């Protein structure tokens, strides 16, 4: 009898070795089977060599088998959810590596609802007197001591875009704010949140705790003007601003996550402030996170002594090579520490550049003011910021740096110089996958230096798509179009250099498939091609948004491709990504988005026709950028250009 049982066991082991798929199918009933499709698995390190399969079986949130329909249907049982793809294409779930979904969710908030870093809605600022009067109207509705944290809505008279010239040029001081809000700490932002004007009551709170904090502007007599920048405003916001209870933020954050799930995104990465993280954690604790979130901790450099802070975080994230970790689980986990920024944006002459900004530029009228001097804001060397101190602390205590903003060539050069020096002291640093986000400027020389340092680039095709008024236009003015069009989002250069490169949106409503399209055709909103030598293939673009992006979020063994043992995160598409005309890639719609084997979005028509549940986002996203003719016409009308000959 024992011999008989041993023979059975031996035979089963042999069968498992010869046909493990068939043996598994015989004993396992899948939760879901998708079949009769065209599945781009991204299952090979080389984007030229991945497998195209017909079907996949899912059990307990993971893929257990991928193959032909006949093979995979053997996993289907009486309780298996079977989805006939009817020839449709499936791709791995998109892994978005730089987006600010917490900020984008504000379009869902009821009017007057507080958001993180703001207690009140923006005020109109047509001129100084009217702006102060509008602030006074906010103050009279508050109890003494209550915070007023607001921003400006610039008008044609006061500035351009969100920049109010009177504020940017220092023509309003804390003493002006004191006249309208003497009993309330008041903070007024404009343009960017790393700058603000505060009244005396708010300033006293900050200086009482940190009398020597960086970023406090003073007049010729050494008296604080109320203008704060960099570290001063970050510390004030983190330690003194009112926090919004996570349960009040969570419903709006969830709705925004559901919206991007409808775009095919299954994982997103961003830097998070503590209040943001609390809201996402609140959702996660209740099983209500529709997507995965790999976050960079923003708090580390928003403290007066970064090393003291970072030393206390040791163990939350670390490692190197194939053994990087971030505390959390596979729905919400830490991927690194975030810098403040290494500069600002080029539209206000804020990006840190080697060649001085010209005073006159057709699409950049604010350049004439030179708010930050001829080379922009260079935070790694500015006395207002302590980002370089954070880099040193991160290197010393074994952390990774991720989720940062970058712009101009001087800023990138300074960052690379600092990392090169740190890597001499900490030899494992090139194995920690430090990151430069945006790819607003990357030369060949910078790409080669970054390769030696093991740096990952997260790149935003929006900096091409928005054309002459965007980064590609700005750097074309500064360096000439031949250089400018070549260094902005240079995907071909980075991939050919062997630098791991990922995709990002960094804009609310920018459709992921528009990002894929621009990576392939290098066309802006008007159809102009910028730097055609930097085009990449569709397969490479897909890898940027899936397999390679999984390395950014430290989950390459669990996400990014359709393979057994990886999470069943995938998207069913309305059109064939590989064969649709390249100028129509942006018109691809997700029909089904699945995270861990669970449907988080279903297109209403597809769901009804396929007998699937109606799940997730049900809005009409007219604000999504899709590369349409209407978008092109609006862009031309803004610049005053004729549509003829384009």
- Predicted confidence at residue 20, as pLDDT, reads 55
| Of the options 1.10.10.10, 3.40.50.970, 2.40.30.20, 3.10.310.70, the CATH number for the domain spanning 117-239 | 3.10.310.70
- Predicted confidence at residue 161, as pLDDT, reads 60
Q: What angle do CA 18, 20, 21 make, to 5 degrees?
A: 125
Contacts of 63 (CB under 8 A, 6+ apart): 56, 57, 562, 563, 564, 565, 566, 567, 568
- Predicted confidence at residue 153, as pLDDT, reads 78
Furthest C-alpha separation in the chain: 99
Token look-up 């109207």 returns: 137
Q: What is the pTM of this model?
A: 0.93
Q: What angle do CA 470, 474, 480 make, to 5 degrees?
A: 135
Contacts of 641 (CB under 8 A, 6+ apart): 526
- The mean pLDDT values, 10 residues at a time, for the chain of 646 residues are 47 51 70 98 98 98 98 97 98 97 91 90 93 96 96 68 84 97 96 92 98 96 96 96 95 96 97 96 98 96 95 96 95 95 93 96 93 95 96 97 94 98 98 97 98 98 96 97 98 98 96 98 97 98 98 98 98 98 97 98 96 94 89 75 31
Element (H, E) at 150: strand 148-154
């Amino acid at each position: 009898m024992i011999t008989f049982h041993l023979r059975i066991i031996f035979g089963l082991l042999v069968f498992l070795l010869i046909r493990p798929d068939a043996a598994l199918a015989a004993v396992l009933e899948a939760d879901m089977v998708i079949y009769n499709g065209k599945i781009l698995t991204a299952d090979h390190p080389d984007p030229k060599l991945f497998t195209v399969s017909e079907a996949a079986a899912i059990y307990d949130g993971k893929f257990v088998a991928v193959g032909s329909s006949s093979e995979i249907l053997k996993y289907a049982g009486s309780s298996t959810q079977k989805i006939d793809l009817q020839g449709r294409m499936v791709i791995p779930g998109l892994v978005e590596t730089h987006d600010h979904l917490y900020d984008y969710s504000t379009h869902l908030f009821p009017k007057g609802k507080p958001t993180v870093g703001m207690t009140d809605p923006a005020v109109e600022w047509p001129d100084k007197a009217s702006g102060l009067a509008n602030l006074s109207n906010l103050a009279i509705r508050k109890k003494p001591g209550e915070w007023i944290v607001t921003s400006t809505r610039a008008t044609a008279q006061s500035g351009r875009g969100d920049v109010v010239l009177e504020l940017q040029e220092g023509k309003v001081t804390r003493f002006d704010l004191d006249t309208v809000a003497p009993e309330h700490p008041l903070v007024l932002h404009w343009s960017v949140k790393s700058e603000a004007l505060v009244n005396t009551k708010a300033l006293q709170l900050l200086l009482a705790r940190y009398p020597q904090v960086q970023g406090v502007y003073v007049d010729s007599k050494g008296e604080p003007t109320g203008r704060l920048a960099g570290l001063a405003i970050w510390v004030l916001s983190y330690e003194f601003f009112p926090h919004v209870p996570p349960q009040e933020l969570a419903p709006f954050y969830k709705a925004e996550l559901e919206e991007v799930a409808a775009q095919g995104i299954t994982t997103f990465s961003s830097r998070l402030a503590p209040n943001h993280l609390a809201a996402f954690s609140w959702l996660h604790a209740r099983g209500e996170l529709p997507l995965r979130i790999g976050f960079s901790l923003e708090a580390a450099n928003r403290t007066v002594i970064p090393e003291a802070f970072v030393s206390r975080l040791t163990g939350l994230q670390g490692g190197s090579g194939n053994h990087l970790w971030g505390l959390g689980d596979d729905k919400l986990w830490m991927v690194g520490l975030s810098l403040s920024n290494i500069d600002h944006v080029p539209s206000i002459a804020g990006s840190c550049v080697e060649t001085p900004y010209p005073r006159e530029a057709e699409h950049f009228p604010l350049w004439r003011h030179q708010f930050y001097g001829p080379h922009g804001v260079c935070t790694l060397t500015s006395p207002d910021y302590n980002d370089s101190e954070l880099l040193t602390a991160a290197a010393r205590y074994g952390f990774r740096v991720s989720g940062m903003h970058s712009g101009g060539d001087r800023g990138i050069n300074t960052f690379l110089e600092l990392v090169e020096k740190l890597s001499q002291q900490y030899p494992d640093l090139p194995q920690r996958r430090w990151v430069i986000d945006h790819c607003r400027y990357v030369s060949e020389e910078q790409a080669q230096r970054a390769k030696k340092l093991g740096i990952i680039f997260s790149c935003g095709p929006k900096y091409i798509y928005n054309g002459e008024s965007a980064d590609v236009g700005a750097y074309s003015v500064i360096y000439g179009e031949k250089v400018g069009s070549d260094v902005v989002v240079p995907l071909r250069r980075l991939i050919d250099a062997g630098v791991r490169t990922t995709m990002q949106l960094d804009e609310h409503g920018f459709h992921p498939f528009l990002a894929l399209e621009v990576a392939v055709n290098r066309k802006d909103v008007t159809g102009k091609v910028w730097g055609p030598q930097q085009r990449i293939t569709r397969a490479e673009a897909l890898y940027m948004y899936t397999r390679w992006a999984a390395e950014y979020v430290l989950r390459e063994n669990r996400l990014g491709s359709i393979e057994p043992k990886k999470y069943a995160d995938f998207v069913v598409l309305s059109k064939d990504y590989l064969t649709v005309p390249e100028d129509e890639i942006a018109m691809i719609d997700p029909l089904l988005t699945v995270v861990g084997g669970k449907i988080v979005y279903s297109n209403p028509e597809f769901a009804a026709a396929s007998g699937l549940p109606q799940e997730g986002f049900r809005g009409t996203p007219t604000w999504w950028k899709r590369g349409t003719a209407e978008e092109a016409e609006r862009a031309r009308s803004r610049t005053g250009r004729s549509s003829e000959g384009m």
